[in-house]
Amino acid sequence: MGGGNGQKARMAREKNLEKQKAAKGSQLESNKKAMTIQCKVCMQTFICTTSEVKCREHAEAKHPKSDVSACFPHLNNKTGEMNL
């Protein structure tokens, strides 16, 4: 058990991850127009396909003292449809 092989495998995996990240980055680039969801508290924008769960995650992480509907009023308006 030298451990050298394991390290090599891990480095290869990390390289692959970097490649995937780069691919995702260029995809984000083309989606920039669709940043139609905005947090009303910090004005951060989100892609229109951002799910309610992600919005709630943002609100809880960034604005634990604010209600999620204060950050994303649109979550209040919907009646169950638009569940992506």
By the criterion CB under 5 A, which residues form the site for Zn ion? 39, 41-42, 44, 62
Which of 15, 40 has the CB closer to Zn ion?
40
Strand locations in the chain (E)? 37-38, 45-46
How far apart CA 32 and CA 62 sit, in angstroms, is 22
Residue with Cβ nearer Zn ion (31 or 44): 44
CB of 74 to Zn ion, least distance (A): 14
Per the DSSP assignment, residues forming a β-bridge with 46 are 37
Instruction: Work out how close the CB of 76 gets to Zn ion at its nearest, in angstroms, rounded to a whole number.
Output: 16
Minimum gap (Å) between residue 1 Cβ and Zn ion: 48
CA nearest to 75, candidates 59, 44, 43, 65: 59
